[in-house]
């Protein structure tokens, strides 16, 4: 088995959910700068959303959408690039790092496109 086993996806998604909640709380209680708060909240929201999408991939697979196994690397990679770049800038990284953020967004879109195709494999007779 490779690195992208369902067990590893779920573990990474669970860790991502933990991080998203922690960052959201930090944005509310630990940061004064409004722009930094906005970046942290946006990163946390998209990070949490896509960790949940990763969990949904397991359900898709269980009901016959085998191609759903291809989406989690895009969702989780997108979290690292999109949310991670926003977190880094909120904590003082140079603004040029924001050029990475849209790449993460494109990874999110790719993951969702994969799920669109995967959904077509569910109950093809119905």
Alpha-carbon dihedral 72, 82, 102, 65, rounded to 10 degrees: 10
Q: Which structural domain, as residue segments, surrounds residue 88? A: 6-119
- Give the residue with greater pLDDT, 58 vs 24: 24
Residue 17: pLDDT band with limits 50, 70, 90: very high
Provide the pLDDT confidence category of residue 61 given band limits of 50, 70 and 90. Answer: confident
79 pLDDT more than 80: yes
Side-chain-side CA neighbours of 110 within 13 Å: the count stands at 17
Residue 74 belongs to a domain: yes
Q: Tell me the average pLDDT across 81-95.
A: 97
**pTM, whole model, 2 decimals?**
0.92
Query: Could you give the CA distance from residue 97 to residue 70 in angstroms, rounded to a whole number?
Result: 27
Residue 110 in domain: yes
Identify which has the larger pLDDT, 3 or 41: 41
How many domains does the structure of the chain reveal?
1
């Amino acid at each position: 088995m490779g690195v992208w086993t369902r067990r590893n996806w779920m573990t990474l998604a669970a860790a991502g959910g933990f991080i998203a909640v922690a960052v959201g709380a930090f944005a509310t209680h630990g940061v004064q700068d409004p722009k930094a708060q906005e970046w942290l909240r946006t990163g946390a929201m998209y990070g949490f959303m896509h960790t949940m999408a990763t969990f949904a991939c397991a359900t898709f697979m269980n009901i016959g959408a085998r191609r759903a196994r291809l989406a989690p690397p895009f969702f989780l990679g997108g979290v690292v690039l999109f949310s991670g770049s926003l977190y880094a800038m909120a904590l003082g990284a140079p603004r040029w790092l924001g050029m990475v953020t849209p790449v993460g967004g494109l990874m999110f879109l790719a993951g969702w496109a994969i799920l669109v195709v995967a959904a077509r494999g569910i109950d093809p007779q119905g």
